[in-house]
Structure formats: C-alpha cells, structure tokens
Amino acid sequence: MKRNHLITAALVALCAAPAAADTFDRVKAEAGETLFDAQCRRCHTVNPSDPSYGPLLDGIVGRKAGSVEGYEYSEAMSKAGFVWTPGALRAWMEANDELIPGTKMRHVGITDPTVQDFIVSYLASTGK
Ligand code: HEC
C-alpha cells in the first residue's frame, strides 16, 4: 500500500500549501518522481550523463518516439512515427506492447490512472 501512502502524502502536502495550480503540478511531479524511481528507474534516466539500458527520458513529452540520437531502438520503435503526448505515455505505461507491437521494452502494465498521471507530470517537468 506504499502507493496509497504516497497519494495521501501528496494530498496532505497539497492541502497545507496555498491552493495554486502550479503547486498542484509540482506536488504531482514530486510524487511522480518517486513512482518513476520505483517503476522505471532501473532501465531509464532523465539525466543525459547517466548510463541506462533504456532510452533517455528527459523532455520526452513532445518528442518524437524513437528519436534519442545513438540509442539502439527496436525496429518497431524506430518506425513508430508519433510524438509522445501525455495520453500516448499513459497508453504506453498501461500496455506498451499493444501500443507498439514488437517493442523491446518489457511489459510494465501500470493500469492505475493516478499513478500514470503522476509519472507523466514528473516526465513533463524534465528536460527544461
Ligand atoms: C526493464 C526495463 C524497462 C523498464 C522497467 C521500463 N522501460 Fe521504458 N524502455 C525500455 C527499453 C529497452 C525501451 C526501448 C524500446 C524499443 O526500442 O522498442 C524503452 C522505451 C521507452 C519509451 C520510448 C522512448 C523514446 O525515445 O521514444 C518510453 C516513453 C518509456 N520507455 C517509458 C517508460 C516508463 C514511463 C517506465 C516506467 C513506468 C518504463 N519505461 C519502464 C526499458 C524499460
């Protein structure tokens, strides 16, 4: 129930803070970073100088899929030809092998929309 604690912590922090939209975004991004560390970090980084097995994800929102220079994508991913939106990232976390059949990213299967949303908020806060 670690995730529920995290969500509670995010909501408590939110209530204690002035009610501003950017505060909510920041709290979501912080909760998302913890979730990212737990679910994605063993294969991905958002820091260009860290080595990682999967492609670099900083600034992924708004970037063309399969476009990190020098990363060896699967053929399926390099031919994906779309731009990562928050919605595409949610679909990817839920069933990456359905969004891009033949991808070499292992199925992660994150179906909880809150968890998806927090991770997207975190990713959207990177690469600026
Ligand atoms: C077991 C390792 C592993 C885990 C865990 C993992 N990924 Fe990946 N990810 C990969 C690999 C490998 C690729 C490259 C896929 C390909 O080339 O087909 C990839 C590709 C991606 C891409 C496409 C990047 C681009 O440049 O277009 C996104 C977005 C992504 N992963 C997000 C996530 C998120 C978010 C999580 C956590 C919820 C996650 N991944 C968990 C290994 C992983």
DSSP string, 1-59: -HHHHHHHHHHHHHHHS---HHHHHHHHHHHHHHHHHHHTTTT--S-TTS--SSPP-TT
Residue 128 tokens read as: 């600026």
**CATH number of the domain residue 94 falls in:** 1.10.760.10
Closest Cα to atom 36, ligand 1: which residue? 40
The pLDDT tens digits of the residues spanning 101-114 come to: 999 999 999 999 99
Residue 31 domain boundaries: 2-124
Band (45; pLDDT cuts 50, 70, 90): very high
- Our answer on whether the CB atom of 105 is closer than 6 Å to any ligand 1 atom is yes
Number of domains, the chain? 1
- How many angstroms does the Cα of residue 85 sit away from the middle of ligand 1? 15
- Our answer on whether the CB atom of 43 is closer than 6 Å to any ligand 1 atom is yes
Distance from C-alpha of 95 to C-alpha of 115, rounded to nearest angstrom: 14
Query: What pLDDT, on the 0 to 100 scale, is given for residue 67?
Result: 97
Looking at the CA of residue 123, tell me the nearest atom of ligand 1.
35
State phi, psi for 64 to the nearest 5 degrees: -70, 135
